[in-house]
Chain A
Amino acid sequence: MSVEAQQGIATPRIPAGLGGLLPALILIGLFFVVPVLALLLRSVTDPAPGLQNYAALLGDGTYARVFFNTFLVAFVVTIVTVLVAFPVAWMLAIMPPAFASILFGIIILSMWTNLLTRTYAWMVLLQRTGVINRALMGAGIIDQPLPLINNLTGVTIGMVYIMLPFMILPLVGTLRAIDPMTLRAAALCGAGPLAAFRRILLPLSLPGIAAGGLMVFVMSLGYFVTPALLGGTSNMMLAEMIAQMIQSLLNWGLGSAAAFILLVVTMALYALQLRLVGARRRAGGA
């Protein structure tokens, strides 16, 4: 497997004619572009033409807090995911391939399990009368149950668990591409394990961390199920607020505007990711 393929970057090929692309374009247009345009249209026409939905969203303290919460949760989840994923990815990268593929299988298997099921499993583990609190209380370590659910802690634990594969998989690619000789060279030059990590391994793996981290961040921004089940109302995220606007308040104009803002932010971050990856390719290809 080439380095580039491992990193998930295929060389784009431009087909001879656009004819072959037509079915795909129609499909994307009909099912992705048209609904987004309809959403945009609704956000400026429902209930009356104008930008009042955007003004309401951006001028209101509550919505501002929900936006802030959304970014805070996405940020915390990304940091924790990187911290947990790195050692796992490193282990997978240096492990004998036979063991590594078993571990890969386990990681990917977790991705195939239904999201809702996995989130409910965390509920059972984390709640006040749940397995973790009971065990800790039974062992006499705590005498009051720890607040592990309906707050930022619960959301972070649940989401990190779900995001881990999206961080581990790209990171393993990057780490495998690092020549192990560089670490040996560092050791020969007198660098201790910490210095070798900080000055060699970390800088070399930074592109993988950035790519995976941005992906986790972008996915976290729009997350619904896990925050809705494991979070509390005071750290509500944007997706849940949009659901509320659509289902409960029946204020579709406002919901569309909020969804559109989320989309714009996500696209901006995606553009940033493309630029980062592009820069990496240019640097690596030299």
Chain B
Amino acid sequence: MKLIFAGIVAGLMATTAAKADEMVFTSWGGTTQEAQTKSWAEPFTAGSGIKVLQDGPTDYGKLKAMVDAKNVTWDVVDVEMDFAIKAAKDGLLEPIDFAVVPKDDLDPRFSNENAVGSFYYSFVLAWNKGAVSGEPASWADMFDTKKFPGKRTFYKWSAPGVIEIALLADGVPADKLYPLDLDRAFKKLDTIKSDIVWWGGGAESQQLIASGEAAFGQLWNGRVFALEKDGADVGVSWNQNLTAADVLVVPKGAKNKDAAMKFLAAATSPTGQAKFAEASGYAPINTKAKAEMPADVVKGLPDAHVDGQINLDLNYWAEHRDEIATRWYAWQAK
């Protein structure tokens, strides 16, 4: 019996091994993954002959299930950085082979032993010009239902962003945000809870704002960029924009590790990063990328808005992820 089983396993392995010139890239779908495909995967395939299959959306439960079951079908995954730090601690990630992936030009804020930056982004305040009279100028305005009536939309999942926004709106200075005062944040959020519509994914946030279903909200800057490009009538405020990053990781036991490392090298290269930034409006994590980008695109990136910009503390989040999440979902369900 055991022999037969081993035989089957070996047989299955043989079929995957035969596909060594393929790998699977998983990201969040929508306009972001399209930009990643065009800027990274297609040129990479053209240069290396390694075919990149697209999958998605990223699902942390699925990633853990694959690693636990030792049947990993994803080779490179785009994840939020706080998750990557936590996942590395839990032993879910392969170390990055920096002999293959050049490290020197990577922004050190967004790379570590188990992850390289994918892009970095800002949460910005965006609104539908037809649904809002006046211009909301700060996160505090999102909590002022008298001055700015209407539904507001926030990111649904427990992640860096909304807690900080509530604290900033409540008057906490940017340099005193951490450690997060959760009681105070939830108390502030309680004041507008019945006016909140949650968005669970980037496309949903775009749909809510573009249709006016929500008058304004906290959006990823790249999603607002895409809305503007489509000619939607949206306004955006970069005041107190909150930066966080996505990173690229290789799940432990990925079958095409070598191809994955080569892909990471291409994705984080100055050219790959420049092209992606141009297509998505997100900022490059390679410090040499901006030299390859048109000036007007550079102007629209998060790092053109450093005035009043706040870096979300992703290490703090990685450490307190579970604790905050438990309270977050308990508060939401109330």
Contact indicator B333/A249 (Cβ below 8 Å): no
Per-residue A-contact encoding for B203-242, CB less than 8 Å = 1, 0 else: 0000000011100000000000000000000000000000
Per-residue A-contact encoding for B38-53, CB less than 8 Å = 1, 0 else: 0000000000000000
B290 adjacent to chain A (CB < 8 Å): no
Task: Name A236's contact: one of B61, B62, B333 (CB within 8 Å).
Answer: B333
Per-residue B-contact encoding for A244-268, CB less than 8 Å = 1, 0 else: 1011111110000000000000000
A45 adjacent to chain B (CB < 8 Å): no
Contact indicator A246/B333 (Cβ below 8 Å): no
Q: In the bound complex, how far is the Cα of B326 from the Cα of A241, in angstroms? A: 11
B99 adjacent to chain A (CB < 8 Å): no
Shortest Cβ gap from B2 to chain A (Å) = 18
Write the chain B residue with the least CB distance to A128: B213
Contact indicator A65/B61 (Cβ below 8 Å): no
Shortest Cβ gap from B85 to chain A (Å) = 14
A residues contacting the other copy or chain, number (CB 8 A): 23
Contact indicator A246/B61 (Cβ below 8 Å): yes
CB-CB contacts below 8 Å: A202-259 with B: 232-234, 236, 241, 244, 246-252
A129 adjacent to chain B (CB < 8 Å): yes
B residues contacting the other copy or chain, number (CB 8 A): 24
B59, B193, B212, B325, most chain A CB atoms within 10 A: B325
CB-CB contacts below 8 Å: B83-107 with A: 90
Task: Name B59's contact: one of A66, A241, A247, A251 (CB within 8 Å).
Answer: A247
Contact indicator B333/A250 (Cβ below 8 Å): no
A43 adjacent to chain B (CB < 8 Å): no
Among B110-118, B150-158, B163-171, B257-265, the one that faces the other chain is B150-158
Per-residue A-contact encoding for B48-69, CB less than 8 Å = 1, 0 else: 0000000000011110100000
Contact indicator A249/B326 (Cβ below 8 Å): yes
Write the chain A residue with the least CB distance to B150: A128
- Given A233-B333, A244-B329, A247-B59, 17 new contacts (CB under 8 A): A61-B330, A127-B211, A127-B213, A128-B213, A233-B198, A234-B332, A234-B333, A236-B332, A246-B61, A247-B60, A247-B61, A248-B60, A248-B329, A249-B322, A249-B325, A249-B326, A250-B61
30 example contacts (A-B, Cβ-Cβ < 8 A) are as follows: A62-B329, A62-B334, A65-B333, A69-B333, A127-B211, A129-B211, A129-B212, A150-B197, A232-B198, A233-B332, A233-B333, A234-B193, A234-B332, A234-B333, A234-B334, A236-B333, A241-B329, A241-B333, A244-B329, A246-B61, A247-B62, A248-B60, A248-B61, A249-B326, A249-B329, A250-B60, A250-B61, A250-B64, A250-B90, A251-B322
Chain A residues within 8 Å of B, Cβ to Cβ: 60-62, 65-66, 69, 127-129, 150, 232-234, 236, 241, 244, 246-252
